[in-house]
Amino acid sequence: DAGVTQSPTHLIKTRGQQVTLRCSPKSGHDTVSWYQQALGQGPQFIFQYYEEEERQRGNFPDRFSGHQFPNYSSELNVNALLLGDSALYLCASSFISGVRTGELFFGEGSRLTVL
């Protein structure tokens, strides 16, 4: 049973560019959430997708957008990249029924470096 998979694992972009990160949830999970983890910090919630809609959003600007596909996989898009967007981006999946107390299953992340 495959866990949460993310791609790419590493990427380098320059300021002003756009980036797309991808996530496939654990088999059977229907909810995907994205997190930004800056160096030396804990993960910060970006947004959560369920039934192809953004359900909850953290304190991130509109440059951060996402999508969920019918097969529950998800993309995170960041436009107009800033140096401060350099971070590890984590995807987590779960069941919507377990959103309140259920375990989140995390991927290994995509490390984005903005030069």
- Smallest gap from residue 53 Cβ to another protein (A): 16
- Smallest gap from residue 87 Cβ to another protein (A): 13
Contacts of 4 (CB under 8 A, 6+ apart): 23, 24, 25, 26, 91, 92, 93, 105, 106, 107
Q: Give the up-direction half-sphere exposure of residue 29: CA atoms within 13 A in the CB hemisphere.
A: 30
Tell how far CA 27 is from the center of its chain: 17
Q: How far apart are CA 45 and CA 60, in angstroms?
A: 9
58 in contact with another protein (CB under 8 A): yes
104 in contact with another protein (CB under 8 A): yes
Q: Which of 1, 53, 71, 100 binds another protein (CB under 8 A)?
A: 100
Q: Which of 19, 72, 109, 112 binds another protein (CB under 8 A)?
A: 109
Q: Which of 28, 42, 70, 84 binds another protein (CB under 8 A)?
A: 42
Are 29 and 71 in contact, with CB atoms under 8 Å apart?
no
44 in contact with another protein (CB under 8 A): yes
- Binding residues for another protein (CB under 8 A): 4, 40-45, 48, 56, 58, 90, 92, 99-101, 103-104, 106-109
